[in-house]
Amino acid sequence: MKKAYTLLLLALFFLPVKDAFSQVKPDHTLSKLEIRGLIDTLRSTLKRHYILPEQAARMDSYLKAKLLKGGYDKLTDPGKLARQLETDINAIHFDAHMHIMYEPGMRPPAALSPEELSKAQQEQLTVEKDNNFNLQRVEVLPGNIGYFLFNGFTPNVEEVKATMSAALTFLSNTKALIIDLRYNGGGNTANQFSSYFFKEKTHLYDQVNTFSKDTISLYTDPLVTNQLTLLMPMYILTSKNTASAAEAFSASMQALKRATVIGDTTLGAAHATGFFPMSKGFIARIPFARPISTSTFKDWERIGVIPNLPVPAAHALQKAQETIYTDLQSKATSDKEKRFFQWAINALKANEGVPGPNVEVLNRYSGTYAGGIRFYVENGNLLCKNPERGNNETFTLKAVSESTFVLDENAQVEFVKDQDGDYSGINLLWKDGSISQKSKEAK
Tens digits of per-residue pLDDT, 53-109? 999 999 999 999 999 999 999 999 999 999 999 999 999 999 888 999 998 877 666
Q: Is the predicted pLDDT of residue 159 greater than 90, yes or no? A: no
176-180 vs 145-150, strand pairing mode: parallel
Residue 203, pLDDT score: 92
Confidence grade of residue 110 (pLDDT, cut at 50, 70, 90) = low
The residue among 25 and 304 whose pLDDT is bigger is 304
What is d(CA 278, CA 271) in angstroms, rounded to the nearest whole number?
A: 21
The mean per-residue pLDDT over the stretch 215-222 comes to 90
The mean per-residue pLDDT over the stretch 19-39 comes to 71
The residue among 154 and 233 whose pLDDT is bigger is 233
Query: pLDDT tens digits for 300-356?
Result: 988 999 999 999 999 999 999 999 999 999 999 999 999 999 999 999 999 888 888
What is d(CA 367, CA 442) in angstroms, rounded to the nearest whole number?
A: 9
Instruction: Calculate the average pLDDT of the chain.
Output: 88
What is d(CA 150, CA 91) in angstroms, rounded to the nearest whole number?
A: 33
The mean per-residue pLDDT over the stretch 408-421 comes to 94
The mean per-residue pLDDT over the stretch 362-368 comes to 96
Q: Is the predicted pLDDT of residue 25 greater than 70, yes or no? A: no
The residue among 247 and 211 whose pLDDT is bigger is 247
DSSP code of residue 262:
E
Q: Is the predicted pLDDT of residue 395 greater than 50, yes or no? A: yes
The mean per-residue pLDDT over the stretch 263-285 comes to 90
Three-state SS at 40 = helix
Q: Is the predicted pLDDT of residue 24 greater than 60, yes or no? A: no
Q: Is the predicted pLDDT of residue 295 greater than 90, yes or no? A: no
Residue 215, pLDDT score: 87
Q: Percentage of the chain with pLDDT > 90?
A: 66
The mean per-residue pLDDT over the stretch 395-400 comes to 96
The mean per-residue pLDDT over the stretch 278-286 comes to 89
Dihedral through CA 87, CA 106, CA 160, CA 257, nearest 10? 20
Q: Which of 34-38, 212-216, 386-390 has the highest mean pLDDT?
A: 34-38
HEC assignment per residue over 302-343: CCCCCCCEECCHHHHHHHHHHHHHHHHHHCCCCHHHHHHHHH
Residue 103, pLDDT score: 86
Q: Is the predicted pLDDT of residue 258 greater than 80, yes or no? A: yes
- For 320, phi then psi, to 5°, come to -60, -45
The residue among 289 and 26 whose pLDDT is bigger is 289
Q: Whole-model pTM above 0.85?
A: no
Residue 280, pLDDT score: 84
Residue 1, pLDDT score: 36
Residue 278, pLDDT score: 87
